[in-house]
Amino acid sequence: MINYVLPDKINGSKMHELLDRVPYLSEKIRKVSYDEATHSVNIGIDTNDEEEIDNLHRHLNEIVETLRYSKIITQKTIRSRKSENASKRDYDYSLHAYFDEDEFELYRMLDYFFLNIAKKYNALIRDYPIILNANNMSRNNYHKNFPQNVFSVSHVPHNYEQLQQFREAEQHDTGNIFVHHGQYLRPCICYHCYEEFQEQSVDQPIIVTSQGKCFRHEIEWKVNRSRKNEFYMREIVFIDKPEQVVTLRDQIMNDVWSLFEDIDLNGSLVSARDPFFYYDDLKNKGAYQLMSHAKYELEAESRHSSYSIASFNYCENLLCQKFNITDSDNEYLHSGCVAFGIDRWMEAIFHRYGKEKKNWSHIAGGLYLYA
């Protein structure tokens, strides 16, 4: 175990940022915890190799330096609620790799609620591929901003010798036969939507909704039922003039808050930031995003944890610029999206009502509200 003493200036949200980033420094890290008494971080690491440990110290120093001179604005709570009869229940926390029948029903019910919010604004309904192509990725740049999260898609070349080689290779030797042409499993839904409208000049607001599996490479020991490598997401994406984008984002935020109240969940709506990993992101985008309150998150609270179940984003003209989407005067349009982490809503409901369907099936009555 390594003990790393933090400078006094690394506290509050800077310290949280640091704790979030440490697990990505090495695959050998198994545990990260903060020791308040000594204002230090304890890092459980699976190696005694001196060079590796020296490197880790050096990387920790780099992060501390970056954070020391960056500006991180404290999260603000916009709304908050505690259910009066909240019996936060325990249930079987084991992670299984499938939905059983009841879980599948809950998933469909929740998605139906979200879809109906989208329909209220006449959103176009889409089903997009799970794979993002190289053109899309090089435009949205997610892989450069969040390399720690990506899953790439690779294939065996259609070549007699290589196919033969692949058949004969041991599992761990197949790596250099695979080739990668810049395709990735999608980390979210909205990039497909920008791709659909790329290189277009539009004079009508665009509102689109789509849902499906998304993929993010999480830290192995942090994976749990609300932090999975693959999960269901629905997004509502909107492209319009700046003022209209913000207004719609806020309207949908109100709709989602009402749904949250109707289901009687516990939690709060907070101004939020994405975890950013690179120097550049931290110095520019990260700090900027917080200042403009570009992003809000709905956090569900349970006895053991709190986690974000929806986010409400205003991207200014950043993505429209990258995908060249303009109005008829050739000005870049602005855009935003609302994203629902469906598996996490399911978790929030299980935490609130327990796993048994008879305890949460009444929520279906809410269907009438959203139909």
Strand order in the sheet with 179-185: 131-132, 179-185, 152-155
CA 132 → CA 180, 209, 213, 333, distances in Å?
13, 17, 12, 23
Question: Minimum distance between the CB of residue 132 and Zn ion, rounded to whole angstroms?
Answer: 13
Distance CA 60, CA 54 (A): 10
- Whose Cβ is closer to Zn ion: residue 117's or residue 190's? 190
Torsion of CA 364, 303, 266, 75, to 10 degrees: -140
Angle of the 101-120 helix axis to the 342-353 helix axis, nearest 10: 120
- Contacts of 70 by beta carbon, 8 Å cutoff, 6+ apart: 14, 282, 283, 286, 287
Q: Between residue 320 and residue 339, which ones bind Zn ion under the rule CB under 5 A?
A: 337
Question: Minimum distance between the CB of residue 337 and Zn ion, rounded to whole angstroms?
Answer: 3
Question: Minimum distance between the CB of residue 193 and Zn ion, rounded to whole angstroms?
Answer: 8
Angle of the 12-21 helix axis to the 50-68 helix axis, nearest 10: 150
Q: Between residue 225 and residue 264, which ones bind Zn ion under the rule CB under 5 A?
A: 235
- Whose Cβ is closer to Zn ion: residue 214's or residue 265's? 214
Question: Minimum distance between the CB of residue 44 and Zn ion, rounded to whole angstroms?
Answer: 34
- Whose Cβ is closer to Zn ion: residue 235's or residue 297's? 235
Q: Between residue 336 and residue 365, which ones bind Zn ion under the rule CB under 5 A?
A: 337
Q: Between residue 264 and residue 323, which ones bind Zn ion under the rule CB under 5 A?
A: none
How many amino acids of this chain bind Zn ion (CB under 5 A)?
A: 4
Stretch that binds Zn ion, among 187-195, 226-234, 287-295, 363-371 (CB under 5 A): 187-195
- Whose Cβ is closer to Zn ion: residue 178's or residue 332's? 332
Distance CA 219, CA 293 (A): 28
Question: Minimum distance between the CB of residue 255 and Zn ion, rounded to whole angstroms?
Answer: 17
- What character string, x for contact with Zn ion (CB under 5 A) and - otherwise, covers 109-148? ----------------------------------------
Question: Minimum distance between the CB of residue 336 and Zn ion, rounded to whole angstroms?
Answer: 8
Beta carbons of 115 and 370 less than 8 angstroms apart? no
Of 18, 43, 115, 190, the residue at the interface with Zn ion (CB under 5 A) is 190
Exposure letters 227-260 (e unless 16+ CB within 10 A, then b): bbeebbbbbbbbbbeeeebbebbeebbebbbebb
- Whose Cβ is closer to Zn ion: residue 286's or residue 336's? 336
Q: Can you give the binding site for Zn ion, defined by CB under 5 A?
A: 188, 190, 235, 337
